Amino acid sequence: MNNRDGFSLIEVIIAAVILSFAVIVLCGICTRSLTSVRTNRDYEHGWELLDRQLEAITYVGIDDFLEEGQTDGDFEGIELTYHWDVETKLTDTEKLYEVNITVSWKRANKERVISAKTMLLGSEENLFVKK
């Protein structure tokens, strides 16, 4: 009587290869997922800082902000340094400024940039005279 009570060596090797392949695929998915979460967190933080800078400009007033002369700077974070830059342009309409705010950062030698464009109204005391 030929009683077979186990797996052959070939069957065990094939099962180990299939299991190893599944583990490698799962590790790749987890790594990619964690990278995406970190990238999304960086973008969220960048948008928060951009919004904070826009609120500061609105609070101070665009005219006073321009008088101070600081149109760029850095936000020091725990992991990253975010750089902000503000460009303004007086439009054809009196007292109305076009404001473009850009926030950039670098992670793993890859630069990321977000920007927003808005319009802000200046005060009447600092009007430019057009001729």
- Give residue-wise pLDDT tens across range 59-116: 988 888 888 888 889 988 778 899 999 998 888 888 889 999 999 999 888 999 999 9
**pLDDT tens-place string over residues 54-71:** 999 989 888 888 888 888
Buried b / exposed e over 57-73, threshold 16 CB at 10 Å, is beeeebbebbeeeeeee
Q: Return phi, psi of residue 60, to 5°.
A: -70, -35
* Contact between 84 and 50 (Cβ < 8 Å): yes
Closest-CA residue to 101 (of 131, 35, 56, 42): 56
Q: How far apart are CA 73 and CA 116, in angstroms?
A: 16
Q: Break the chain into its structural domains and give their ranges.
A: 9-126
What average pLDDT does the structure give for the chain? Answer: 87
